[in-house]
Amino acid sequence: MAVRFHPHALERMAGRGATEDEVAAAVEQGEMLTAKFGRVAFRRNFTFNSERRGRYFGTKQVEAYVVREGADWLVLTVITRFF
């Protein structure tokens, strides 16, 4: 099973502070959730302990919305939350 990225997802990841490695880890090891339109979401928390946009956060949550393409997961978009 491979994790592949749609160009839209790569654009969103860059703007939202998520790396390809974090998103792949969320898909491979994160909590699976059901999403709209037959999609699946994977969510995982990462230790952040850094500053983002002028505020300090201890945790970064990465949520990837994916669809199955053959044996692979195609990441469509990514949402991040910092807390």
Tell me: the pLDDT tens digits for 36-51? Answer: 999 999 999 999 999 9
pLDDT (average), residues 46-70: 97
Q: Which long-range contacts (CB under 8 A, 24 or more apart) does 12-18 make?
A: 12/77, 12/78, 12/79, 13/78, 16/78, 16/79, 16/80, 17/52, 17/60, 17/80, 17/82, 18/60, 18/62, 18/78, 18/80
Question: What's the pTM value of the predicted model, to 2 decimals?
Answer: 0.94
